[in-house]
Structure 1
Amino acid sequence: MTVANGTGAPDIPSELAHHCLDLLTDVSRTGRLLRRAELERLRELGERGAEAGHGLRELVGSCLGATRAAWQHLPGPGSATAAELRRTGDALLAAIQAALGALGEGHERAQRMAVRQEEANRRELVNDLLHGRSDFGRLAERAERFGLRLAAGYTVAVAVATEPYLEGAPAAHRVLRELTGRYDDRTLLLAVRDGRLVCIASDGEQAVLTAFTDLALRPGAGYLPAQRVATGRRHAGTGGIVRSYEEALGTLEYAQRLELPAQRLRAEELLVFPVLMRDRAAMADLVRTVLGPLTAARGGARPLLETITVQAEAGYVNAETARRLGLSVRALGYRLERIRDLTGYDPADALHRYTLETAVMGARLLDWPDQPLRI
């Protein structure tokens, strides 16, 4: 029997109470177990109740209310022996235990399906936002279901690990659980895309991005930690989300090519590299002209390129540079002389230093000398 409330919609708790009362009244008379079809009906009512927004506590309360009503149908002490009363009571308790188990199973099944559907919708929305190719009106309407206003500004952060992140992986779930526990989930979107963990945060939510970075880098024992986290710049609108995402990806790529040690990266800190690589032919020409002669050195160009890089990182302090390279100061001096003799650029001269450093960065970005330069 389907019971409707005042609006005409099915009243699941009342329907459940009537169904349980009928079942348990019959059990109190016969002492039988619940049948498979009856248990499936209870699972269905639990599932429908969850879909209608009823909590498990409310549904269990309806079922227990029916139990109290059924208990009143038990024969009085004068009309049954103690053994009969005990058997009837045991049958009722066994029936209510089975009924509550089936009810909870159906409710949990609906909850799991709802969570999976929401995750799928969220993942699809993130993919469309990062592609930037969907219809704006429809995309904005879908985003509003998650509390996002696409006309506002957004910033995208991307985390990469030594292994690809997987959909539903524990590390991704932990980060999402922690973030949504601390912040309003309408201010952020989190998803796994192409093996990376992506966080989209709305305007003014710098704390969300900081927390995302901290959690990704240090998720706790047993979880996959991120190797680097890069944050794009803030941009407005759906196109801004794509732009911020691409900036974060570009930052990660530059960090990998340049072998930067930093784990936390911001796109604005590496803006010089897109500028340098905007004219790839000019950069290749600079590398060939300035560093090309180093290939004539004994052992090739790579040790001398490393020397230029480490000396810059050491602030051009020769003792510290030698220590980092594992050389004596005298051996370092010999390398610096070879660089000056072969290239014509003296690492002791400020302007020459800048040219050498820029050329070495370009060599890393172009993967030279492993790859030939194409001008």
Structure 2
Amino acid sequence: MDVLAHVSEATGVPADLLGGYLPVLTAAVSTGRLPGRDAVDGLRALGAAAAERGVPVRALADACLLARELDAPPAEAQVLAAVRRALAAYFDGYEEAQHQAIRREDEARREFIGDLLQGRADRLAERAEHFGLRLAEGYVVAVAKDVAPVADGDPLIRRVEEALVTRFGSHNILVAARDGLLVCVAPATLTAATGEFTHHVRGSLGQGWRVGVGRPHRGPGGVVTSFREASDAISLGERLGLRPQVLRAADLLVFPVLLRDRAAIEDLVTSVLDPLREARGGPESLLETLEAVFGAQGNQTAAARKLGISTRAVTYRLERIRRLTGFSPDDPTQRFTLETAVLGARLLDWPARD
């Protein structure tokens, strides 16, 4: 086995990447001169090829030393063997220190994001500057949920954050995992950031993904508020069976208002919808019909298509609702009452929890 084949087997570095190296050493020994420009350019090209093929620079350096060691006189070979071992120790210490620094940074990052999203204020502003956030500004939080929870260490986190930083040239964007959600904290001035975040979520998560987007708020407490709004938007979407996969808290403000006075909404649901219990098969099909009609802006044909029934069946059900409740979706005032009651029923999980 020749020298290059032995070196390649011992170090894992392809032999062709070392082909121009030994002649350079041989020429230097015989002439006493350093390599010329052409030789250096050739080695530089081999170094670039090694990088493109994923060969670590540590392995490349070890291969170069071993190649000379195997081709050197015994005394020089012994010295080169010592140099190889010493360099390996240097590399080990250097890489371990790098790994420890990365682990410390990741741990500090996780702790900071946890404190930020929970509103714990221990040196929060000072720590935020380390991660590029200026908490006096307004921030928006977007969260993504998938069937499988997102956990710390998921490669998706770093991939999405790098894509956002590349797009916007800004380091004051954070992407992390929290409560099984993929969380993005971005300045309110970067209005396209949540759209870019959604784009990468769509390409990376499964079919069941949803994104919630909070409203912009200022200060550390604002980040907490926006995070809660974004999370609540997803929860509301699931409870109400909303079709959009991207839900904005600004579009859902009526629901917190409804829930703020739970006694009032419970009274409305009971007063308006309780008569639907008398319908054959229970109230569920009639509730679904109302939801479809409201979602289609009163277009009964479109509602029938969504429900998979005939338009005549929709008309019949609406008439049945009018007779049982006394409220008609065709009357503007009564329609508002009915729609609010149906939304309240979904929020309260009526009649299942009744």
Distance 2:154 2:101 in 1: 18
In the alignment, structure 1 segments of 5+ residues that lack a partner are: 1-55, 75-82
Matches for 1:49-128 after TM superposition, within 5 Å: 85-88=72-75, 90-91=77-78, 94-128=81-115
Residues 216 and 285 from structure 1, CA distance in 2 versus in 1: closer, same or farther, beyond 3 angstroms?
Answer: same
Out of 96-105 and 286-295, give the one that drifted further.
96-105
Q: Give CA-to-partner distance per residue, 1:18-76, whole Å, 9 cap, x none.
A: xxxxxxxxxxxxxxxxxxxxxxxxxxxxxxxxxxxxxx98x999x99xx8xxx9xx9xx
Distance 1:87 1:307 in 2: 91
Q: Letter of the aligned partner of 2:294 in structure 1?
A: A
Q: Letter of the aligned partner of 1:307 in structure 2?
A: T
Distance 1:86 1:226 in 2: 67
SS at match of 1:117: helix
Q: Letter of the aligned partner of 1:357 in structure 2?
A: E
2:240 counterpart residue number: 258
CA contact (8 A) 2:158 2:175 kept: no
Matches for 1:184-333 after TM superposition, within 5 Å: 184=169, 186-219=171-204, 227-333=209-315
1:365 counterpart residue number: 347
1:176 counterpart residue number: 161
Q: Give how far 1:253 is off.
A: 1.6
1:350 aligns with 2:335: no
Q: Give how far 1:226 is off.
A: 6.8
CA contact (8 A) 2:198 2:211 kept: yes
Distance 2:162 2:242 in 1: 30
Distance 1:168 1:99 in 2: 34
Distance 1:197 1:216 in 2: 9
Residues 226 and 201 from structure 1, CA distance in 2 versus in 1: closer, same or farther, beyond 3 angstroms?
Answer: farther
Q: Give how far 1:322 is off.
A: 1.8
SS at match of 1:186: coil
Q: Letter of the aligned partner of 2:298 in structure 1?
A: Y
Residues 351 and 84 from structure 1, CA distance in 2 versus in 1: closer, same or farther, beyond 3 angstroms?
Answer: closer
Q: Letter of the aligned partner of 1:304 in structure 2?
A: L
Residues 175 and 325 from structure 1, CA distance in 2 versus in 1: closer, same or farther, beyond 3 angstroms?
Answer: same
CA contact (8 A) 1:287 1:362 kept: yes
Distance 1:105 1:214 in 2: 40
Distance 2:83 2:168 in 1: 40
1:154 aligns with 2:136: no
CA contact (8 A) 2:161 2:173 kept: no
Q: Provide the aligned C-alpha RMSD in A.
A: 2.8
TM-score w.r.t. the length of structure 1 is: 0.71
Equivalent pairs, count: 295
Q: Give CA-to-partner distance per residue, 1:177-214, whole Å, 9 cap, x none.
A: 32233344531122211111111112412232222221
1:53 counterpart residue number: none
Q: Give how far 1:262 is off.
A: 0.9
Residues 260 and 319 from structure 1, CA distance in 2 versus in 1: closer, same or farther, beyond 3 angstroms?
Answer: same
Residues 101 and 322 from structure 1, CA distance in 2 versus in 1: closer, same or farther, beyond 3 angstroms?
Answer: same
Residues 300 and 226 from structure 1, CA distance in 2 versus in 1: closer, same or farther, beyond 3 angstroms?
Answer: closer
